[in-house]
Amino acid sequence: MKRATIMLLLAIAISLGAIVNIGDEYIGSTPMGEFRKISKGSFRGMTESHTNYYYDEDIPTRLIRVESSYSNPEYHEHELKKWLYQYQELDDHREMIVSYYLDCWDAWNEGYSGYEHINESTYIYDLQDKLLEYISVSVTSGNADRTIYEYDDSGNLIQESLYRNWSEGTEPTRVITYAYDAQNRLTHKLFTDYGVRKSEVWQKWGNHSLPDSTYTWQSATVKVEKNFFDENGQRHHRQTWFKQSTATVWSRSDYSYLYVTVHQVHFPIQILKIKGWSTEAGGPFYTQDTSTVVNYTYSNDYRTVSVTPSESEIYNEMYYYNADWLLTGHEYDVDHVLYEHHHYYNTWEYYGAAFNDDPVAVPPTMVSAYPNPAKGMVNVSLSKRDAPAPVEARIYNLKGQLVRSLDISQMSSDQYHYNWDCKDSHSRAVPAGIYLIRIKTSSGEVSKKVTVLQ
């Protein structure tokens, strides 16, 4: 094992991308491919839970059944759950119907009493896979809730309207509205319930994939957050101020992030948290109470991660990733001064494979993109010597979603050239952020990351 240090961070040239969130089920630098989760397990002392996932033989990406079990013999608790999925393809939309069943342990007869149909959920999508409507029916009580989703011309969700027991009334009881800027970035969110404002969020953006500042109001609390970025567009510092609506002072927390780039992935190596008090939102500390350092320790191949914070309790987490950067195991171990020792272990299994993001298999010299960061236009070049007869270039966002396909714009004696105007397939300007250019060739795929500014 090796501990990454600040000197190592300063010595490594940071490439474009986002710092991964250790603990996500996939942390690779490329779209995750067609893998599917087939099982998940959780173990804590005498408590065990298992979940299995089943897919359509003809359409392997389509989930048809989920089965889950939970057992705690110490308290005589046992549960079986299952979800059945049905699909309907219609001319102008498609539907997914999910039926939920529960079977509980009968302590008197020492056996399961049989599955009971609890809930029926229907998801209605348009042909572009936007969720239009969600209906949830409680089979046991007969109550039915309906949520309607509305979008603007750019495909952004602008309103969610929930109708509780919708057959009894025509007015929504809960409404969430969203507003965006010209780059389709969320700037405002308002949540009301029975006409009463419950929460509201405002965000201001610069030329980064995260907002520069966020102001969150809730009925009893207020929170202000500011982000600061380095020359690579990565967030290296975050400040938050928080207070109860009746309080006169603000709790302030500062976070500093250090990271290192390996295998085309940005790994966190340390998070420093300082906590104290401030007289106003955005104001300096007038007192500092505590400081905590969270250290990330990696194996030589970075597939095993140990997370250890410097807190009053003995605490450690371990994460295990396979060759495709899929999470396969998680251990959580804690000895608290006031509580007994706890140990958790979680496992994941998959089938299928992720895209190959091995930097040796994808030489960085094969494809270039300039300017990078880009504003309005990206010029992409690919060597003919290394990649004969490419088909097309595809642009993906960090979620792995296809943004745009590009054809060759021109050819020189030794290179193919593509041009991307930083727009999606509907000719809309993409939000500022980090994108992945992938080009399929007869000998494989090559990739390049690019940052788009606005």
Q: Which residues pair with 65 in a beta bridge?
A: 54, 84
**91 versus 34: which is more confidently predicted?**
91
**6 versus 404: which is more confidently predicted?**
404
> Which domains are assigned to the chain?
367-452 (2.60.40.4070)
Please state the rounded mean pLDDT for residues 139-144.
Answer: 89
Q: Which residues pair with 159 in a beta bridge?
A: 150, 177
**What distance in Å separates the CA atoms of residue 260 and residue 22, rounded to the nearest whole number?**
13
**What distance in Å separates the CA atoms of residue 29 and residue 302, rounded to the nearest whole number?**
14
Please give the full DSSP string across 200-268, using - where no structure is assigned: EEEEE--SSSS-SEEEEEESSEEEEEEEEE-TTS-EEEEEEEEEETT-SSEEEEEEEEEEEEETTEEEE
**74 versus 444: which is more confidently predicted?**
74
Is residue 232 pLDDT above 80, yes or no? no
**389 near 441, Cβ under 8 Å?**
yes
Tabulate helix, strand, coil % of the chain (nearest 5): 5, 60, 40
Q: What is the pLDDT of residues 301-333, one digit of tens each?
A: 899 999 988 765 567 899 999 988 999 999 988
Q: What is the pLDDT of residues 175-204, one digit of tens each?
A: 999 999 988 899 999 999 999 999 999 999
Q: What is the pLDDT of residues 35-64, one digit of tens each?
A: 889 999 999 878 999 999 999 988 888 899
Q: What is the pTM of this model?
A: 0.71
